[in-house]
Amino acid sequence: MDFTRARSSIAAALPAPDYRYRMRARRVVFAVSLLAPITAAAQASGFGPIVLQLPASTRAIGFGNAYVGVRDPEAVFYNPAQLGVRPGVAMSVERYGSSATAGAVATTYVFGRFGFGFGAQFLDYDAQAPRYPEAAPNGEALVGGGPFPASSLVAATSLEMAFKGIRWGITGKFAEDRVQGARDGVLLADVGAAREIGLGTAGVTVQNLGTSAHFAGTSAALPTRATLGYAIAGPVGPLDAALSGALSVRRGGRVSPAGGVEVGYVPIEGVVFAGRVGGRLPEKDAESPLTLGATFTFDRLSIDYGFEPYQGRDAHRIGLRIR
């Protein structure tokens, strides 16, 4: 809205009063001019696209979604610097209550010095309104339902290479929200680095760099975040154990620590049973601070399960990884 033109129209509509009424009118116009930009700024609330705020890995859920230092195909979504460490294919699907379904697929390859990754995430849900912030109000729309069919998706392509003892990675992404046939997309980028330090791997990444998403004349800030994490794994007596922790700072200054532990048992060569428990300070009010997970591995095939209460309801995720 052109507020200068609006103020001129208001002034033109006023009659020519005496000095006292003219001063009072000026005060009213001045107050309107101050409130107008505040009203416009209020239209830009929440974060979007909404799919960028959701977990992209079943195993990651069990670690509180602290996954920047972990070596799996889903590094496409968490830290592109980890692409070439453990190539493979991963896919998963998650159900939020009875009203929303999310899923992800990722694959990574190694060619010489370079690692390549491709991935996609999707979300199908019902929105409460065909605009921001209702289309992505801090995640609550997933279980709240609504009269407007909606979806959110992101497609990602990643590249990784090592230089001077550090792995570097970059991801290009296209993300969009759709509500009742209308849609809007944004181009984004992630950058990351990783290096072995001590007995584990340290990773750092900055995600969702780009311009804000716009939809139906409204806008939502990108959930841009910087994350520092560390992961370590090794034998503990007759068991295998893994730890992963991370500290994220999201746009707006919200700090979210997270972490988890995994304990595995190998009864025979090639067979693994593992359980996980994670904790986090959620970025979204709808998330639970407690997460759980489990894995059954046979040779190169792993079946994963993740559990995260979401706004008072259960969210279950099933995943499949092939290495």
pLDDT digits (tens, 9 = 90+) for 37-85: 333 333 334 788 889 989 999 999 999 999 999 888 999 999 999 987 7
Distance CA 52, CA 60 (A): 15
Residue 15 has pLDDT above 70, yes or no: no
Residues 225, 280 within the same domain: yes
Closest CA to 151 of 129, 127, 170: 127
What would the mean pLDDT of 197-221 be, rounded to a whole number? 90
Domain range for residue 223? Answer: 50-322
What would the mean pLDDT of 282-293 be, rounded to a whole number? 84
Residues 116, 214 within the same domain: yes
The least confident of 137-151, 175-189, 211-225 is 137-151
* Mean predicted lDDT score pLDDT of the chain: 83
- Residue 37: C-alpha distances to residues 1, 44, 149, 155 (Å): 9, 11, 31, 35
Residues 186, 165 within the same domain: yes
Higher pLDDT, 74 or 216: 74
Residues 137, 57 within the same domain: yes
Q: What is the per-residue pLDDT for 135?
A: 73
Residues 97, 176 within the same domain: yes
Whether 192 and 156 have beta carbons less than 8 Å apart is answered as: no
CATH number at residue 308: 2.40.160.40
Name the band, by pLDDT with cuts 50, 70 and 90, for residue 140. Answer: low
Q: What is the per-residue pLDDT for 182?
A: 80
Residues 145, 263 within the same domain: yes
Residues 32, 66 within the same domain: no
Name the band, by pLDDT with cuts 50, 70 and 90, for residue 296. Answer: very high
What would the mean pLDDT of 256-264 be, rounded to a whole number? 97
Distance CA 119, CA 56 (A): 10
Burial 7-42 (b: 16+ CB within 10 A, else e): eeeeeeeeeeeeeeeeeeeeeebeeeeeeeeeeeee
Q: Which helix (H) or strand (E) holds 207?
A: strand 200-210
Residue 11 structure tokens = 């002034």
The least confident of 41-55, 156-170, 285-299 is 41-55
Residues 122, 230 within the same domain: yes
Whether 307 and 287 have beta carbons less than 8 Å apart is answered as: no
Residues 22, 65 within the same domain: no
The least confident of 30-39, 40-49, 293-302 is 30-39
Residues 100, 10 within the same domain: no
Name the band, by pLDDT with cuts 50, 70 and 90, for residue 99. Answer: confident
Residue 211 has pLDDT above 70, yes or no: yes
Residues 38, 132 within the same domain: no
Residue 158 sits at the vertex; the CA angle it makes with 157 and 163, to the nearest 5 degrees, is 160
For the ranges 24-38, 175-189, 199-213, 277-291, the maximum mean pLDDT occurs at: 199-213
Q: Provide CB contacts within 8 A for 100, sequence distance 6+.
A: 123, 124, 125, 126, 142, 143
DSSP 137-151: STTTHHHH--SEEEE
If one counts the domains in the chain, the total is 2
Residues 11, 158 within the same domain: no
Question: The whole model's pTM is what?
Answer: 0.82
Distance CA 250, CA 265 (A): 36
Coil, helix or strand at residue 79: coil
Q: What is the per-residue pLDDT for 302?
A: 96
